Amino acid sequence: MQKVRPLVAAGLALVAAWMGANAWVLAAVRGLRFELDVAPAREVVIVPGAGLRGDEPSAVLEDRLRCAEALLASGRVARVLVTGDHGSPSYDEPGAMTRWLVARGVPGEKIARDDAGFRTLDSMHRARAVFGVTSAIVCTQRVYGARAVFLARSFGIDAVGAAADRRPYLGAGWALVRESVGRPIALVERALGRGARVAPP
C-alpha cells in the first residue's frame, strides 16, 4: 500500500498538469478564434498542411484552402502562405495546395509556399522568421485552432484563427484526443524555446 500511494500521487499530479496545460493554451487564445465570416482582417492567411489524397489535398486540407480562398476574395487578407510537408520528391503538400489555389483563380504572385512546414510549430516559426509574417489569420479546423493560434502568437505573429470546418471529418474523435495531448506538448516546447526542425537561416 505504501508503494501504491506515491504512484497514485504521481498519476494525479500528471493529470493535473495535463489539464492545467490545456487550460493555459485555451485561455491564451480566448477571443482570438472566429467563424470564417466574422474573422477580422490581417495581412496574410496561413494554411497549414493536412495530408494529401494522392496528389490532391485531403478533405481537411481542401476545406482549409477554401477558407483561405474566401478570405482572399473578401479582401480581408492580401496574400496566402501555404506551409506543409515536402520532405521527399514524391510528397509535396505545398505544391498541391498552390495548384489548388491557382486552379481557382488565385494569382500565383499572392501565394508563398513553405516546403518545411512539417509540424504546426515549424510552420508558425518559419512564417515569422523566414517569410516575415507579423499579422495573420490561420485557417484550420476548430479542434486544431487553439494550438495553431497559440504557436503563431508565441513566435510574435499577431494571429487569429478562422474555422475551416465545412463537413464532418473521419477521425474527429481521435483529433480531440490528439489535441488534448498536443496542446501541452506545444506549451512545453515553447517554454523550452524549441523552434522549427529546419531552422530559419
CATH code of the domain in which 76 resides: 3.40.50.620
pLDDT for res 156: 98
Closest CA to 139 of 81, 90, 93: 81
Q: Which is more confident, 4 or 86?
A: 86
Q: How far apart are CA 162 and CA 156, in angstroms?
A: 18
Q: Which residues span the domain enclosing 47? A: 4-191
Q: Which is more confident, 9 or 37?
A: 37
Flag whether 200 is in a domain: no
Percent of the chain beyond pLDDT 70? 98
Instruction: Please tell me the total count of domains within the chain.
Output: 1
Flag whether 134 is in a domain: yes
Rg of the chain over Cα atoms, rounded to whole angstroms, equals 18
Q: Each residue of 36-79: pLDDT tens digit?
A: 999 999 999 999 999 999 999 999 999 999 999 999 999 999 99
Flag whether 196 is in a domain: no
Average pLDDT, the chain: 95
Q: Report which secondary-structure segment, H or E, holds 33.
A: strand 33-34
Secondary structure (3-state) at 50: coil
